[in-house]
Structure 1
Amino acid sequence: MTLRSKLCLAFSAALMASAANATPAPEALSPLLTAIGERIAIADQVALSKWDSHKPVEDRQREREVIAAAVAQAPAYKLTGETVEAFFAAQIEANKMVQYINLSDWALEGKAPDLPRPDLVGQIRPQLDRLQKRLLQQLADFAPYRSDPQCPQWLAQATHNDKQHPIHRLALIRATGQLCIFTKS
């Protein structure tokens, strides 16, 4: 047996052992990922609005407003401002990623999909604002599990869903990239 074969076998055995010792994801993870997924899905509508209006994806003023509003609500959910700021910054980055990809794809095709166009200010932003409260509650519910050693594995398993659109899957990975907290031993 070659060294490479031995290493592959050892790696496979280690993976199987870690999977056998893995604890199931806490119930609090699924609602959080659902809410994050809803926010990511809204990015498609935002992209359509920006395609039609020729506005840039980047809107730093709006981003600051969203994060500031979330941070202001953090104490009501027993979350730190720092936690909420990092979480919503990740949500915004994930949404921008979806918008950039969609806009690039549509530019290549020379047109955007023929879908209803909700109004960005009158319909989409209020929807995002309502979702923000759910995200805060779901983040608070998941907070006790963020430092669990199994957290990265739970997220990896949950974000590798073949039924999701690839763009949304990548955005979900980006949006959850900082959910787990690594503590020094």
Structure 2
Amino acid sequence: MKHPLIATLLLGALAQPAFAAAPPTLAPLLDSVQQRLEIAPKVALTKWDSHKPVLDAPRERDVIAGAGKLAADYKVDSALAEQFFAAQIEANKLVQYGLLTQWNAKGGAPDTPRADLAKDIRPLLDVLQKQLLERLAAFAPSRNDAQCPRWLASAIEARKADALQRNALIRATGELCAKPS
């Protein structure tokens, strides 16, 4: 070949492992994660109106413990369920803190209808918890695949989300792929 650089690049490309498509179980899981994150602005509004802090350690412990207890029903390891839901909570708080900061900078929250945290929001979160566990169980066998981080990064990049939501989605799935031993 007359161009050694092109030959080197071609050989390098051939040596790379092929990128397999993500398993079909990833998109539904990310859909549910994103649905949960879309509830965060409603939670932030309740925190704004009530002047309560974003951090609610007792509630967070209850949600994480509840996920751990339900995990067996979905054939998910309890430690994985607890880790996954801790990440969901941290991602949700990331959105809440971001929005509260924006609203403080503007001098007020948006004038939108408010949902009741106990009556409206928590029941939605409870439904999503079961859906997330079901979808986590479906995706769990793919967590150990060496391509998992690439699948996840590509799927997140392909989603429509503003910067705050994208960062929260990254946080919510930060430990989804298992680390190679």
Aligned to 1:49: 46
Runs of 4+ in 1 over 3 A off after TM superposition: 12-18
Q: 1:100, 1:130 → 2: CA distance?
A: 24
Aligned to 2:21: 24
- Please tell me the residue identity of whatever aligns with 1:31: P
Contact 1:161 1:169 in 2 (8 A): no
Q: 1:105 to 1:25 in 2, by over 3 A?
A: same
Q: 1:170, 1:73 → 2: CA distance?
A: 28
Aligned to 1:74: 71
Aligned to 1:153: 150
Gaps of 5+ in 2: none
**Larger displacement relative to structure 2 (101-110 or 160-169):** 160-169
Q: 2:61, 2:87 → 1: CA distance?
A: 13
How many angstroms does 1:13 deviate by?
A: 8.4
Q: 1:115, 1:157 → 2: CA distance?
A: 34
- Please tell me the residue identity of whatever aligns with 2:77: T
Q: 2:109, 2:58 → 1: CA distance?
A: 26
Query: Structure 1, residues 115-141: CA drift from partner, whole Å, max 9, x if none?
Result: 110001110011101110000000000
Aligned to 1:94: 91
Aligned to 2:136: 139
Contact 1:48 1:117 in 2 (8 A): yes
- The SS at the match of 2:176 is coil
Q: 2:144, 2:159 → 1: CA distance?
A: 27
Aligned counterpart in structure 1 of residue 178 of structure 2, from 163, 181, 184: 181
Aligned length: 175
Match status 1:34 vs 2:31: yes
Q: 1:17 to 1:32 in 2, by over 3 A?
A: farther
Q: 1:75 to 1:111 in 2, by over 3 A?
A: same
- Please tell me the residue identity of whatever aligns with 1:27: P
Q: 1:52 to 1:14 in 2, by over 3 A?
A: farther
How many angstroms does 1:183 deviate by?
A: 2.5
Identity fraction in percent: 52
Q: 1:68 to 1:161 in 2, by over 3 A?
A: same
Match status 1:110 vs 2:107: yes
Q: 1:183 to 1:57 in 2, by over 3 A?
A: same
Contact 2:54 2:96 in 1 (8 A): yes
How many angstroms does 1:47 deviate by?
A: 0.4
**TM-score in terms of structure 1 length:** 0.89
